[in-house]
Structure 1
Amino acid sequence: MFNSKILIVDDEIQILKLISMLFKKEGFNKVDFAQTGADAINYITKNNYDLVLLDVMLPDTSGLEICRGVRQNSDVPILFLTARNSDIDKVSGFAYGGDDYITKPFNPLELIARVKAHLRRNINYKKEYEPSRSIFDNGRIKIDYDAAVVEVDNENISLSAQLFQLLKFLSTHPNRVFTKEQLFENLWDSPLYGYDNTVTVHIRRLREKIEKDPSNPELIVNVRGLGYKFVGGSL
């Protein structure tokens, strides 16, 4: 984990100094810093990062637009840093492809905890092929859990680490109903505390990837008043 390469993008020099100090203290030494969107894009183009900490408001562009561009070619975990704290801002961040949302001023311990959590998930997501691996295949969707490969109608589907973990969790518990609270606590390692839109947005993004018609899902369905369940056979 501590060999992970991280990019931090923020136009406030004091924020960069604070995060730099925190990361060095925690043993993260492969860290690049950018203060503009142009510099961030330049870094991302030339390097393979394990995590990007991205300010939403930059002097030359929006962090949301950078995230959308990155998502065309990469599933690197992206954590937004922002002074905004409304639910709609959070939903916008997730809709653009972000994996988490940290509000300024932030608790340094929480920031480090979230960074480590996402790095752990990404490491597990990228783990190398193992000979004895577990595969789900119902004829339409095929999920290789150990290789982290998903195929829908024989077409390879690219999922971010967070979306893959959501699909894995639901598909390994077929036909079982989970509330938003249960999904959040199992996948984000913390109580919901008002972040129910996080689950909704990730479910929608996953449906857009694997459903024939995301508006009329057949694999991940709503159970009115209760939550969501994966319908598609058993492992």
Structure 2
Amino acid sequence: MSPDLSIYTPREKVSPPLTPDVFHTKRILVVEDEAELQKLLLNILRRDGYIAVQAAGTVSHALELAKTWRPEAFLLDVMLPDGDGFELLRMIQKDNTSPALFLSARDEDEARLHGLGMGADDYITKPFLPQELLLRLNAVLRRTYTVPSVSHTVSIGSSQVNGAEHDLLTLGDVTIDFSTGIAHQVAQKNSQSMPKPIKDIPLTATELTILKILRDNRGIIVTTDSLMESVWGNSFGYENSLMVHMHRLRDKIEEDPSKPQWILTARGLGYRLAAPTAPSQTL
């Protein structure tokens, strides 16, 4: 039996922009095995002005396109005939850090949090309205591909990083480059040599957005509602998702994620980024 796709049908025709903006030129790969829904998703994207969209119906085809076409964003179904979207994302992430959104009929909290915990930037439950999909996709693309217009110089203790060409933030032995989405971990200084990079850790668009908000309000508590509103445009129903992203962010930048020194929890209120003067313990 074919699925009921009535809810996916736009009430009003979406007119594409006359001149595609930078986000609508990004390569979008839709991974969906249901033929009717796959076609509909492609039509929704194209009507909105996306000019580079392709589709795959299997894990194997998606991996082939991920290597040869190099998509700049993924829309992934969870249930696929030769595997699942979670494992597909894991394989894609080995050499592609482009943002990913899950589209799934599974609305259980466990599945949603599992997808976000793997590094997905959003998780949309079917059925959904076309405008919801477009708003969330556009938000992820803006977070990922917006070029910072202002550079920053951040001092922490005796360490200073000049962000003349890159938007940088240094936290302990980790320097986050917002212009590339990479956290560079370096070995601790010693008397014999300068610190050397030892690991490059990619951050997702959502992780970068959260970190930017905390950086811009450094030393000040940012409430949970404010964070959710800034990241997702809605403060309802995203608290668990925010906690998952915070957990992953701490895993990537804290020396001991169980005892964070930089991203601190203000219990019952929200989060704050420790002031540059010295790291401190969780409130």
Q: Report if the CA contact (8 A) 1:142-1:152 is conserved.
A: yes
Supply the distance in 1 between the matched residues of 2:56 and 2:183 (Cα, whole angstroms): 34
Report the equivalent of 2:249: 206
**Could you say which residue in structure 2 is the equivalent of 1:217?**
260
Q: How far is the alpha carbon of 1:15 from its aligned partner?
A: 0.6
Q: Which residue of the other structure, out of 266, 270, 273, is the alignment partner of 1:227?
A: 270
Corresponding residue to 1:47 among 60, 66, 69 = 69
Q: Distance in 2 between matches of 1:222 and 1:54?
A: 32
Q: Deviations over 1:70-128 (max 9, x none)?
A: 2222221101010011222210110121111111111011111111111222221699x
Q: Which moved more, 1:205-214 or 1:138-147?
A: 138-147
Structure 1 residues 213, 126: CA separation in 2 closer, same or farther (over 3 Å shift)? same
CA distance in 2, matches of 1:126, 1:175: 22
Given residue 216 of structure 2, which amino acid in structure 1 is its aligned partner?
Answer: T
Alignment pair present for 1:168 and 2:227:
no
* Counterparts of residues 5-20 of structure 1 (less than 5 Å): 5-20=27-42
Number of residue-to-residue matches in the alignment: 232
| Alpha-carbon distance between aligned partners in 2 of 1:134 and 1:38, rounded to the nearest angstrom | 37
What does 1:53-64 correspond to in 2, within 5 Å? Answer: 53-64=75-86
Write the distance in 1 (CA, Å) between the matches of 2:204 and 2:180: 14
Whether 1:90 aligns to 2:112 is: yes
Which residue identity is paired with 1:170? Answer: L
Amino acid at match of 2:175: K
Letter of the 1:34 counterpart: A
Tell me which moved more, 4-13 or 65-74. Answer: 65-74
Please say if residues 171 and 262 of structure 2, whose CA atoms lie closer than 8 Å, have aligned partners that are also in contact.
Answer: no
Q: Are residues 69 and 116 of structure 1, via their aligned partners in 2, closer, same or farther at CA, if it must alter by over 3 Å?
A: same
Q: SS at 2:83's partner residue?
A: coil
- Pick closer, same or farther for the CA change 1:34–1:17 going to 2, 3 Å: same
Give unpaired runs (5+ residues) of structure 2.
1-22, 152-162, 187-196, 278-283
- 1:78-157 alignment, distance < 5 Å: 78-124=100-146, 131=164, 134-137=167-170, 140-146=173-179, 148-153=181-186, 154-155=197-198, 156-157=200-201
Tell me the TM-score normalised to structure 1 length: 0.89
Cα distance, 1:161 vs structure 2 = 2.0
- Aligned-partner Cα distance in 2 for 1:220–1:172: 13
Q: What does residue 21 of structure 1 align with? A: 43
Equivalent residue for 1:38, pick from 52, 57, 60: 60
Percent of matched pairs sharing the same residue: 35
Mean alpha-carbon deviation: is it higher for 89-98 or for 68-77?
A: 68-77
Residue 221 of structure 2, aligned match among 164, 168, 177: 177
Partner of 2:15: none
Structure 1 contact 140–152 (Cα < 8 Å) conserved: yes
Q: Is the 8 A contact 1:75 1:161 kept in 2?
A: no
Question: Per-residue displacement from partner, 1:34-70 (whole Å, max 9, x unpaired)?
Answer: 1111111111121221110000011110100111122
TM superposition shift of 1:144: 4.0
**Shift in CA distance, 148/94, structure 1 to aligned 2, threshold 3 Å:** closer
Matches of 1:116 and 1:191, distance apart in 2: 15
Deviation at 1:8, TM superposition (A): 0.2
User: Greater helix percent: which structure?
Assistant: 1
One-letter identity of the residue aligned with 2:38 = L
Check whether the contact 2:143–2:205 (CA below 8 A) recurs between aligned residues. yes
Higher relative contact order (CA 8 A, sep 6+): 1
Residue pair 2:65, 2:71 contacting (<8 A) in 1 also: no
CA distance in 1, matches of 2:42, 2:169: 42
Q: What is the CA–CA distance in structure 2 between the aligned matches of 1:45 and 1:161, rounded to whole Å?
A: 21
